Amino acid sequence: MPTLGIDGIISGMDTTSIISALMRVEAQPQALLQSKQSKAENVLSALQGINTKVASLASAAEKASDPDSWASFKATSSSDAVTATAGTTASAGSLSFTVDAVATSQVSLTAAVTEGATLVAENPPSLTFLKADGEYLTITPASNSLADIASAINSSSAGVTATRVQVSGGDTPSYRLQFASETTGADGAFELYVGDQAAVEGGTATRLDSVVTRAATDASLTLYPGTAAETTYAQSSNTFTGLMTGVNVTLGATVEPGDEVTISVATNASSVESLAKNLVSNLNTIFSDIASRTRTTSSTNDQGESIISAGLLGGDSAVRNLRTQLTQAASYPIDGASPSSYGISVTRDGEFEFDSAAFSAALADDPDGTAAFIQALGARIQETAESFSDSTSGSLSLKIQTQESRIDGLADQIAAWDDRLAMREATLSKQFTAMETALGTLNSQQSWLEQQISQLPSWNSSK
């Protein structure tokens, strides 16, 4: 606490140091309160940290107990050239088919012309697309140059991309325009003519894309080949949406006609395994934190004596109870079956471990039974975790609230001592100031008396 500079002028005493020493004695009760507050804050921080981890465990357990979390399927294909993707509505099963054809887009070319030459005499020309559905589309480029024709087609709604391609070199290189449909399948087929719609319909128009290098074809599958139910399924896209419920199948460019493919859909083992594995991971995170907060430590004092100190939460019954109940919730049997049968077991050190091989074996042997067991286990762990971490009724949350109230009370007491000590310091300063004043007065009186005595007549006894 700060003191006034009133060192004794009369007394010669170091009153500042004296007052500071007295105030340290006076402040000992406040220092004790501050020490209690610091420890209480450390306990609060530890409890909050554990409670956060317990809440995370409750969330992981809730997810593991939710049947929707187990509705995760993975689709696989027997062919590297065919991919399959399972959605949320997929279910276990398999389907075999034969690939008849892969959907392709049309690619066609104009005749080759040399640099500077034009494809058509008319300038600007009328160009008309005849689409597979019988629709006509007439466009008029800015000129009859290859660049203007390509630009007009690319900016139109024809659904065709035009590209100028150099097909020979030398002093007089030649070029073609390449036309490619933007969509695959027979629906994307087209013909391009020089002339308007009437000329095309009348048969007097000249076809501009006279060379078809790749025809537009549909993708085609044969389902149930070789059986009475054999069916050919054709479409313009290489992705067959919902070929199986919730499963999309895509034919790759390298698939060969006649390839036999089997699509299999099964529970996504890695996805559901993570549900059980996360339970173990969250449990061990909590237990590790509890161990670090309750572990005793040893040290040596100045006399060489060994001192054993308890952990911050070493004597906390709520934390001990938390560990006990979580261990029981995660390890006790359910309907006679042990969690260890599904890869969850307790080690000698009291930690949990997850055996991926055991879980995978159980899942492969009985998918529904494994799902039901882990869901029940998750529900039990969730209930236990929430009984501690629930923000309104959890025992650990309530303990945290009590600790917060205690810290607030200590803070109020410390603040009250600040006022009390300030008043005490002021009182001491006044007392020492009064003492100096009194000593000054006494010194003045002494000087006066000495002066008066020195003025008294001197009496000689010999006279």
My answer on whether 353 and 311 are in the same domain is yes
Report d(CA 388, CA 384) in Å as an integer.
Answer: 7
Q: Is residue 143 part of a domain?
A: yes
My answer on whether 357 and 281 are in the same domain is yes
My answer on whether 255 and 324 are in the same domain is no
The pLDDT value given to residue 425: 83
My answer on whether 203 and 62 are in the same domain is no
Q: Is residue 418 part of a domain?
A: no
Q: Is residue 4 part of a domain?
A: no
* Those residues with Cβ within 8 angstroms of residue 107's Cβ, 6 or more apart along the chain or in another chain: 178, 179, 180, 181, 212, 213, 214
The pLDDT value given to residue 127: 97
The pLDDT value given to residue 155: 96
Per residue, the 3-state secondary structure of the chain, as one string, reads CCCCCCCCCCCCCCHHHHHHHHHHHHCHHHHHHHHHHHHHHHHHHHHHHHHHHHHHHHHHHHHHHCHHHHCCEEEEECCCCEEEEECCCCCCEEEEEEEEECCECCEEECCCEECCCCCCCCCCCCEEEEECCCCEEEECCCCCCHHHHHHHHHCCCCCEEEEEEEEECCCCCEEEEEEEECCCCHHHCEEEEECCHHHHHHCCCEECCCEEEECCECEEEEECCCCCCCEEEEECCCEEEEEECCEEEEECCCCCCCCEEEEEEEECHHHHHHHHHHHHHHHHHHHHHHHHHHCCEEEECCCCCEEEECCCCCCCHHHHHHHHHHHHHHHCCECCECHHHHCEEECCCCCEEECHHHHHHHHHHCHHHHHHHHHHHHHHHHHHHHHHHCCCCCHHHHHHHHHHHHHHHHHHHHHHHHHHHHHHHHHHHHHHHHHHHHHHHHHHHHHHHHHHHHCCCCCCCCC
Report d(CA 458, CA 463) in Å as an integer.
Answer: 12
Where are any strands of DSSP class E within 29-89? 73-77, 82-86
My answer on whether 364 and 391 are in the same domain is yes
My answer on whether 122 and 167 are in the same domain is yes
Residue 315, both tokens: 């004597």
Q: Is residue 302 part of a domain?
A: yes
Please state whether beta strands 127-131 and 190-194 pair in parallel, antiparallel, or not at all (unpaired): antiparallel
My answer on whether 287 and 378 are in the same domain is yes
Q: Is residue 458 part of a domain?
A: no
The pLDDT value given to residue 20: 82
Q: Is residue 6 part of a domain?
A: no
Task: Read off the pTM.
Answer: 0.61
Q: Which of 201, 233, 267 represents a domain boundary (last residue)?
A: 267
CB 125 within 8 A of CB 118: no
Report d(CA 230, CA 242) in Å as an integer.
Answer: 18
CB 344 within 8 A of CB 326: no
My answer on whether 295 and 208 are in the same domain is no
Report d(CA 394, CA 379) in Å as an integer.
Answer: 17
For 443, other C-beta atoms within 10 Å of its C-beta total 11
By three-state DSSP, how is residue 162 classified? Answer: strand
Q: Which of 369, 397, 425 represents a domain boundary (last residue)?
A: 397
Q: Is residue 454 part of a domain?
A: no
The pLDDT value given to residue 1: 45
My answer on whether 254 and 167 are in the same domain is no
Per residue, the 3-state secondary structure of 292-347, as one string, reads HHHCCEEEECCCCCEEEECCCCCCCHHHHHHHHHHHHHHHCCECCECHHHHCEEEC
Where are any strands of DSSP class E within 363-428? none
Q: Which of 251, 267, 283 represents a domain boundary (last residue)?
A: 267
Q: Is residue 420 part of a domain?
A: no
Domains contained in the chain, number: 3
My answer on whether 354 and 258 are in the same domain is no
- Longest Cα–Cα distance of the chain, Å, equals 175
My answer on whether 96 and 225 are in the same domain is yes
What is the domain range of residue 238? Answer: 73-103+219-267
My answer on whether 170 and 295 are in the same domain is no
The tens-digit pLDDT sequence of the chain (463 residues) is: 444 445 665 556 677 788 788 878 888 888 898 889 889 899 999 999 999 999 999 999 999 999 988 888 899 999 999 999 998 888 889 999 999 999 999 999 999 998 777 888 899 999 999 999 999 999 999 999 999 999 999 999 999 999 999 999 888 899 999 999 999 999 999 999 999 999 999 999 999 999 999 999 999 999 999 899 999 999 999 999 999 999 999 999 999 999 999 999 988 888 899 999 999 999 999 999 999 998 877 777 777 777 777 788 888 899 999 999 999 999 999 999 999 999 999 998 889 999 999 999 999 899 889 999 999 999 999 999 999 999 999 999 999 999 999 999 988 898 888 888 888 888 888 887 777 777 777 777 777 777 777 777 766 655 4
Report d(CA 394, CA 391) in Å as an integer.
Answer: 6
